[in-house]
Amino acid sequence: MVKKIVIGVFCMISLLLLCGCTETDSGDQALDEVDSGDENIVSDDAEYIGTFYAAKTDDSLKFTLIFNDAENKLVTATGTAKLNIYDDYDNKIFEKEYVVDPSKAGTNSKYTLIVSLDDIEKGMTESGYAEVVFTSKTGNVINKITNSIQIPYYTEEEILNIAEQEFLENAVESGDSYELDDIKITALRSGFYTIPGEKSKKIFRVDLKIENKYGQPKDFTPSEVMVYSGTKEYPFTSGGSLNNVSKIPALGSVEGYWLFEDIPDNIEEPRVYFKNGRDSNGEWRLFDLNLE
């Protein structure tokens, strides 16, 4: 969100970019000289940041920063400013420290910092916020936050792909299988899966492959599904792609997963257990598979 500053100036001034040292790197920033003829500008320690906002261009975020003293006079501050940018889930997507030098301030002590969008990591939300933390040469620390800034962000599909890739990289492979009445079920892998969101949630996921070796479709109607370890049982409630599977095609197979809540990170020797229909004698078909 871009606020209007009623100061009647259009000069753009840059902060000096600090990459762990005191050397300057102006990049694509326009530098202006101090307008020393303005009686409202003083060179002294800043008491607070009066103005801090961001404007988005096609390829950058442009931040405007103005300091004030205790009497609300504009200040050409001296010190360093750390700029942090976050998405609305508080994930930090940019951080850099800059030199604040009076010789690089413009009319009415306005500093302008241009951050290339290519230098900002993608966020999990379309908008975010930024915080600037200024430390004066005498050690005084002040900060200000600006909200609702437009940031680069992941699409929903990209977020799901990231979660899937993270699961596959950390999952434990199994391969344990059991075949009964032309149905073969194999435990492929298991592990903790992160559901992205404002408060990311880690839940236990079990991937299965169900194969039908019969010439007609077979029902897939699992019941009493649970993960267990020793004497501890963790019943399945809902969640996962296998919820959408009710039949296995003739001589075909289906892969999918179940999600289980409240399973501890230190679970040992987990197994998955469930019933899947009845055989010709009316007995339950029982499947009990090792997940490690």
Q: Which two tokens stand for residue 39?
A: 């009686």
Q: Do 97 and 166 lie in a common domain?
A: no
| CATH number of the domain enclosing 286 | 2.60.40.4170
Task: Give me the pLDDT at residue 18, please.
Answer: 34
Both ends of the chain: CA-CA distance in Å? Answer: 51
Q: What is the pLDDT of residues 142-166, one digit of tens each?
A: 999 999 999 999 999 999 999 999 9
Q: What is the pLDDT of residue 137?
A: 87
Position 19 confidence tier, pLDDT thresholds 50, 70, 90: very low
* pLDDT level of residue 281 (50, 70, 90 thresholds): confident
227-260 pLDDT tens trace: 999 999 999 988 899 999 999 999 999 999 999 9
Asked whether residue 37 is domain-assigned, the answer is: no
pLDDT of residue 228: 96
Phi-psi domain of 4 (left: phi exceeds 0; alpha: psi -120 through 50; beta: other): beta
Say which residue, 110 or 89, is predicted with more confidence. 89
**Whether 88 and 213 share a structural domain:** no
Q: Are 290 and 174 in contact (CB under 8 A)?
A: yes
259 & 136 share domain: no
Full domain range(s) for residue 190: 157-290
DSSP state, residue 117: G
Which of 123, 150, 177 is where one domain is finished? 150
HSE (side-chain half, CA atoms, 13 Å) at 3: 14
More confident call, 221 vs 6? 221
Q: Please tell me whether residues 65 and 125 are part of one structural domain.
A: yes
How many domains, in total, are found in the chain?
2
Q: How high is the pLDDT of residue 42?
A: 64
Residue pLDDT, tens place only, 98-142: 888 887 777 777 888 889 999 999 999 999 999 999 998 888 999
Q: Is the pLDDT of residue 57 over 60?
A: yes
| Nearest C-alpha neighbor of 31 from the set 100, 93, 112, 109 | 112
Residue 177, in any domain of the structure: yes
Closest by Cα among 204, 178, 190 to 276: 178
pLDDT for res 32: 35
246 and 170 in a common domain? yes
As a whole number of angstroms, the distance between CA 178 and CA 289 comes to: 7
Q: Are residues 117 and 215 in the same domain?
A: no
Mean pLDDT of 21-36: 35
Mean of the per-residue pLDDT values of the chain: 84
Last residue of one domain, picked from the residues 150, 166, 196: 150
| Residue 26 pLDDT > 80 | no
Residue 34 has pLDDT above 50, yes or no: no
Return the pLDDT at 269.
Answer: 95
pLDDT at 23 over 90: no
pLDDT per position as a tens digit, 190-217: 999 988 777 778 899 999 999 999 999 9
Last-in-domain residue among 108, 133, 150 = 150
Strands 253-260 and 232-235: unpaired
Model-level pTM?
A: 0.70
Q: What is the pLDDT of residue 12?
A: 34
In the structure, what pLDDT confidence band is assigned to residue 33 with cuts at 50, 70 and 90? very low
- Indicate if 113 and 232 belong to the same structural domain: no
